[in-house]
Chain A
Amino acid sequence: MTEDRKNPARPRNGAFGGAGPRTERRQAEEAILKAGALQNAIFNSANFSSIATDAKGVIQIFNVGAERMLGYTAAEVMNKITPADISDPQEVIARAEALSVELATPISPGFEALVFKASRGIEDIYELTYFRKDGSRFPAVVSVTALRDAQGSIIGYLLIGTDNTARKLVEIEKEKVDQRLREANEEIQRFAHIVSHDLRSPLVNIMGFASEIDAWQKQMFQQLGSLRTQVGGEQNGAGDMALRADVEEALGFIKSSVAKMDRLIGALLKLSREGQREFQPQSIDMTQLLRSTMEALAFQAQAVDAKISIADLPSVTSDRLALEQIFSNLLDNAVKYLRVGVPGSIEVQATESDRMVIYEVRDNGRGIDTKDRERIFDLFRRSGVQDRPGDGIGLAHARALVRRLGGSINVESEPDRGTVFKVTLPKRWQLAASEVAV
């Protein structure tokens, strides 16, 4: 193999490589031309290498593009070598092995490996490295077609190749960018994780000592009271009571703020852990998933007189836990932000296109002000009257998950009429390069 490459002008022997007597070859070439499968236009193209061979693989036609890409003149290769002689021998061997397994029949590592599929009438396009006359190499995409005569017997093969260098470079560049993104992403995850823990540590002290002070102030005012009684004063004088109320109010603010900060840090930590979790794509019955989510909310829904209806929804291949979190958040919000005195109606339906499904969660609730429609997806941001418990985490989390799943989330809303959240998801989610954990 290697020798053949070094000396490509030497004819190959064997079933596919053998060159027959001169007249046979001429006949084969004429037959190819007569078959009308080859067009002059194609053969004059400088951008495609078109190589036609006889049935055994010996090159019969070598167009302008092939000459330009490979550095040989037509005369140097015609009737002399097969395309396997100018292909990367390792790749030819690998291809022969792979095809032998795939098609369960022994395929020899030579020209046969390049055209076997085409010879069986299977459409075949593959990537391959070609060697130029000067020994340099380039990646090509090759499309192979069997050429047949009027009786349907194979009289040769046509290999049309394009130089794949530019695309390969783009791929390499993309891989580099992906790698950088991956690293940046991991850095952020680690950062969030560490910060979350280190931010929590001082809170233990603030909360701890505020609670200690609270216990002490109670004791102090008790002692102050009994001292006052001893000197004949009033035990719980108005001045003392006011002072004690001030101290307790201050401590109350400190404690509630610490508790809030702890919740926010907890949310950050949860988000950072979620970001690190690897998605497990599986086929998901969305009607079922939404129904279970609805059942989990049945109590809350009943409490606010809300009806939830789930239409038949298209299934997707995606991450189950992520979808549960996204839709339980949207349904939870829909139940939470209804209008007082108006029976709630929440509907989930979907529309689908070729590759995407749009799930809609529609409610007749209080709606979202125009100015808040982007803000609600930001972490710790909320909209409207703040009369419901919450920290502004749910939608930020939902959006992060939807994006990781290769989708998008939008909102349409009319204040005092209702809101529609639209979640667009790919029907089949696959582990993108940027998602692969390293």
Chain B
Amino acid sequence: MTQQIAIAMIEDDEGHARLIEKNLRRAGVQNEIVPLTDGATALKFLFGPDGSGLVNKGRPLLILLDLNLPDMSGIDILKRIKENDHLRVVPVVVLTTTDDKAEIQRCFDLGCNVYVTKPVDYEKFAHAIQQFGLFMYVMQVPVAI
């Protein structure tokens, strides 16, 4: 993954955001991380003021998405991304505390690319994020169309 790729981190919990960032950096991920702390802010960033998603055209982007947001469900955001002509190719990594099988299934049905559960056990948490960071090195990310 090249360094130009921005990571849109949709995460309402600042603590979680900090821990995720720390562990990505530890894995050597140098990319820009755009923190988006609620659903509305995230939608505005992703789809632009006109809501079309054109704002990100040509931009290599990767989305980290928490499902439990205060103002809307992450599932709805995922659905809108995958239904949008410009953003549907953008890889979405769901990163959430929920390990409910039905929820995981639903996310993949809607087109999520990776699903990672945040464990309370910090060693596992750090390991999961760092592994994901390493995975990002070898990943090819398309630009939004």
Contacts and interface: CB of A to CB of B under 8 A. Distances in A.
B19 interface: yes
A39 interface: no
Contacts of A233: none
B15 A204 contact: yes
Interface residues on chain B, size class = 10 to 19
Interface residues of A, number: 19
A126 to B, nearest CB: 43
A204 B68 contact: no
B97 A209 contact: no
A353 interface: no
Given A197-B97, A198-B68, A212-B22, A207 B15 contact: no
Contact of A203 (B19, B98, B120): B120
B16 interface: yes
B121 A205 contact: no
A37 B68 CA distance: 74
B118 interface: yes
Interface in B73-123: 97-98, 100, 118-123
Given A197-B97, A198-B68, A204 B123 contact: no
Contacts of A273: 100
Interface string A202-221: 11110111111000000000
Chain A, interface SS category: helix
B16 A201 contact: yes
B32 interface: no
B110 to A, nearest CB: 19
A118 interface: no
Contact of A208 (B97, B98, B100, B125): B125
Given A205-B13, A205-B15, A200 B120 contact: yes
Given A198-B68, A212-B22, A207 B98 contact: no
Contacts of A202: 15
A209 B13 CA distance: 13
Interface of B: 13, 15-16, 19, 22, 68, 97-98, 100, 118-123, 125-126
16 contacts: A197-B98, A200-B97, A201-B13, A201-B97, A204-B16, A204-B19, A204-B120, A208-B15, A208-B19, A208-B125, A208-B126, A209-B15, A211-B126, A259-B121, A262-B121, A273-B100
